[in-house]
């Protein structure tokens, strides 16, 4: 996701998105450890997306924009 798209979401939507991405990341890591994950770059993309959501959420909570 792009940061611009994330900034348009509310705090509750960002929290839900963060939870969803973290769950996807967990599943991808488990699949990777068992050798079932074909697209290993997915883990990197998910980690980056989790960081983006966390950053935007922190900016909204801190009043920065």
Residue 47, domain CATH: 1.10.287
* Total domains in the fold of the chain: 1
Expressed as residue numbers, the domain containing 24 is 3-62
Residue 29 CB burial class (10 angstroms; 0-12, 13-18, ≥19): middle
* Dist. CA 60–CA 33, nearest whole Å: 35
Angle made by CA atoms 15, 10, 57, in degrees to the nearest 5: 50
Tell me if 21 sits within 8 A of 53, measured CB to CB. yes
Residues, the chain, total? 65
Mean pLDDT of all residues in 50-62: 94
Q: Which residue intervals of 1-65 are DSSP H helices?
A: 3-7, 11-34, 41-62
pLDDT tens, position by position, 10-52:
999 999 999 999 999 999 999 999 999 999 999 999 999 999 9
């Amino acid at each position: 996701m792009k940061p611009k798209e994330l900034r348009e979401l509310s705090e509750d939507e960002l929290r839900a998105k963060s939870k969803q991405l973290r769950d996807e990341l967990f599943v991808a890591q488990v699949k990777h450890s068992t050798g079932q994950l074909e697209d290993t770059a997915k883990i990197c993309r998910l980690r980056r997306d989790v960081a983006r959501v966390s950053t935007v959420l922190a900016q909204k909570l801190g009043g920065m924009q």
